[in-house]
Amino acid sequence: MDIASNLLVLFLALLAEAAFGYPAPLYKAIRHPVMWIGALIDRLDRSLNTDALSEARRRANGALALALILAVTIVPTLIVQIALFDILPDLLAALLVAAAASTLIAQRSLYWHVAAVATGLERAGLAGGRAAVSRIVGRDPDSLDEAGVSRAAIESLAENFSDGVVAPAVWCALFGLPGIAAYKAANTADSMIGHKSERHRAFGWASARFDDLVNLPASRLSAVWIALAATILSLDGKAAVSTALRDARHHKSPNAGWPEAAMAGALGLKLAGPRIYGDIRVDDHWMGYGRAEATAADIRRALDLYRVACGLQIAATGLLAALIWLT
């Protein structure tokens, strides 16, 4: 597989996922690949992260677990990709590999999960918004007013645009199906064991640091897509850029601040800031120059921005693939 084949696979995968998402009959029959990865991570966590082990041993075991997770995803997907391109005509092989890769991209599902928050606020008020946002963020929904619910939905949209849409695309473009599968495995490991709880502070250290590393290019690229989309929609593309450059470094995550700050600048909002996870108050830096009083209408504007940003990525991928194939 060369870069031209990878880009063709990515282009087809992005189109397929945008159009169809992950089909419900397929989910009912085999669940989702992320769930398979999650089951492996859970088993490794239970077997390699026991209370009797020292912190140093837990950290070493966490690195071993990450290596196993990556190997289990890279080896079979690499074999499948090589076999398909060896046996079948290139276009048919690309279609089949793209179908597999599309299951690891979240354009469509992310849109509908965030849109549900706007719909909840519009139809059922604060209670409806809290119920919908509790499905996509970890913070305490009962601590959120309408503005807090709206900001949480927009922040989730921005952050997950980076690590659920742009990052899988980057690693698919570079390494095809094994690249996107390995990225998704690492990202799932971070979400399950990469947090700083007492149990996972040592064991999840390697997964958390690796996830920071592999998300670094996509977080910056996602800010670019958001700024360009803002310009197309006559929003504030310049503010998206300046806010990202000014505020991203203040975010507690080395990556999430880039798309969140760009989104805040484009929409004229303030995002992030102080919030509550469980019983813990997190006093984070605000992202953006604008108002903190976000509404369901702002969620809708953010979703419009997101759709155009996704469209830009698809178009750029297709154009780049065509240019490479033609030369």
Predicted confidence band of residue 277 (pLDDT cuts 50, 70, 90): low
Residue whose pair of structure tokens reads 């309408």 in the numeric block: 146
Q: Which has the minimum average pLDDT: 49-53, 105-109, 259-263?
A: 49-53
pLDDT at 322: 92
pTM: 0.95
User: With 90 as the cut, is the pLDDT of residue 317 above it?
Assistant: yes
H or E segment at 272? strand 271-277
Q: Is residue 54 scored above 70 in pLDDT? A: yes
Q: Which of 247, 256, 242 is nearest to 286 (CA)?
A: 247
Q: Is the pLDDT of residue 1 over 80?
A: no
What's the mean pLDDT in 246-269? 96
Q: In a 10 Å sphere around its CB, with 0-12 CB exposed, 13-18 middle and 19+ buried, how is residue 23 labelled?
A: exposed
Closest by CA to 205, choosing from 49, 50, 33, 46, is 49
pLDDT at position 310: 98
Q: Whose CA is closest to 165, among 213, 102, 231? A: 102
The rounded distance, in Å, linking the Cα atoms of 245 and 185 is: 30
Tokens (6 digits) for 31: 């669940």
Coil, strand, or helix at residue 197?
coil
* 102, two tokens: 């599309």
User: Tokens at residue 114, please?
Assistant: 């965030």
In whole angstroms, how far apart are CA 321 and each of 93, 152, 159, 318? Answer: 16, 36, 26, 5
What pLDDT is recorded for position 220? 98
Predicted confidence (pLDDT) at residue 123 exceeds the cutoff of 90:
yes
The mean per-residue pLDDT over the stretch 150-161 comes to 97
pLDDT tens-digit map of 170-207: 999 999 999 999 999 999 999 999 988 889 999 999 99
pLDDT tens-place string over residues 217-253: 999 999 999 999 999 999 999 999 999 999 999 998 9
Q: Residue range 285-304: average pLDDT?
A: 96
What was the pLDDT predicted at 284? 83
Residue 292 amino acid letter? A
Contacting residues for 163 by C-beta, under 8 A, at least 6 apart: 187, 215, 218, 219, 255
* pLDDT for 195: 86
CA 141 centroid distance within chain: 21
Short-list 164, 162, 9, CA closest to 100: 9
Residue 64 pLDDT greater than 90, yes or no = yes
Q: What is the largest CA-CA distance in the chain?
A: 60
Using CB atoms within 10 Å of the CB of residue 74, give its burial: 0 to 12 exposed, 13 to 18 middle, 19+ buried. middle
* pLDDT band of 274, cuts 50, 70, 90: confident
pLDDT at 280 over 80: no
Whose tokens are 């995550």? That residue is 253
Secondary structure element (H or E) that encloses residue 249, with its range? none
The better pLDDT of the pair 106, 278 is held by 106
